[in-house]
Amino acid sequence: MNSTQFSESPEFLTVGEGPASRDIAMLTLPAAEGSDLPALMWLGGYRSDMTGTKALEMEALAARRGCQAIRFDYSGHGQSRGEFREGTISRWLEEAEAVLDHHKPGKVVLVGSSMGGWIALRLTQRMREKGMAPAGLVLIAPAPDFTSELIEPKLSEAERQSLEERGYFEEHSEYSSDPNIFTRALIEDGKSNRVLTGIIETGCPVHILQGMKDPDVPYAHALRLMEHLPADDVVLTLIRDGDHRLSRPEDLAKMVSAIEAKLVPSLY
């Protein structure tokens, strides 16, 4: 349906001014001629990048369906410039909004993984402030408010002391030989971006995919998120043996099905 080839040579978009300026790497698959389907926009997780399995699977679906696919790396991630330790939810949200504004798709389905689920919800709020709404949200192991809900309550005394004295603390990562680094700026900024404080109105259908064996984001967090979405058409798929990544073939098939339902709802 779409003969366009994938391109791994990124385009760069400058976001911010002066010392806050950083170049954000983007990879875009154009829509097939005449397509009126929504674009698909990938919002990755903390320390992940746009070349991960789920992001590529989303783009492959876009190629089959003939719709636009937008992928990008947050500053300090992947091919984008900027220091990772300067990253905050506000900073990465600004970049996501700038990428969306740069492409100006008529309709868009936001696909957010882990922290990207939080960014997707905040980006949706920004869109609604402008009188717009996504065509749909697909949230994979979403981690809204993870700084205040999942990190702060579990801080050890040593980690609290490190935050106070060094401005950050390190944590072993299950997914990398390098430790996770959480800064005081990230945690403080997270408080101003919380979404689990009242009703979240997205104005679109939402599908949440959540593993029940997720060691990073417990499935109770997804259940709580649902409680904050009473006005929306929300589907929650709990995957009994699913982990945080949800990158097995059977997990990817569920993700693709959820996205397709947002692209062509009349087929489902």
219-231: pLDDT as tens digits: 999 999 999 999 9
Per-residue burial over 177-211, b = 16 or more CB atoms within 10 Å of its CB, e = otherwise: eeeebbbebbbebbeebbbbeeebebebbbbbbbb
E-assigned strand segments in the chain: 11-15, 22-29, 39-43, 69-72, 108-113, 136-140, 168-171, 180-183, 206-211, 234-239
The residue count of the chain comes to 268
Task: Identify the residue whose tokens are 């779409």.
Answer: 2
Query: In this structure, are residues 69 and 39 in contact, taking their beta carbons and an 8 Å threshold?
Result: yes
**φ/ψ (deg, to 5) at 78:** 50, -125
- Whole-structure pTM over 0.75, yes or no? yes
146: phi then psi, degrees, rounded to nearest 5: -65, -25
Measure CA 49 to chain center.
10
Give pLDDT tens digits along the chain (268 positions).
Answer: 333 344 478 999 999 999 999 999 999 999 999 999 999 999 999 999 999 999 999 999 999 999 999 999 999 999 999 999 999 999 999 999 999 999 999 999 999 999 999 999 999 999 999 999 999 999 999 999 999 999 999 999 999 999 999 999 998 877 777 888 999 999 999 999 999 999 999 999 999 999 999 999 999 999 999 999 999 999 999 999 999 999 999 999 999 999 999 987 755 5
HSE toward the beta carbon, residue 53, CA cutoff 13 A: 11
Instruction: Give 226's contacts (C-beta < 8 A, 6+ positions apart).
Output: 208, 234, 236
- Which residues share a beta bridge with 10? none
Distance (Å, whole) CA 211 – CA 15: 34
What backbone phi and psi angles, to 5 degrees, belong to 159?
A: -70, -40
CATH of 11-144+199-267, one of 1.25.40.80, 3.90.70.10, 2.160.10.10, 3.40.50.1820: 3.40.50.1820
Please state, in angstroms and rounded to a whole number, the distance separating the CA atoms of residues 89 and 185: 10
- Which amino acid, 183? T
DSSP notation for 198-210 = S----SS-EEEEE
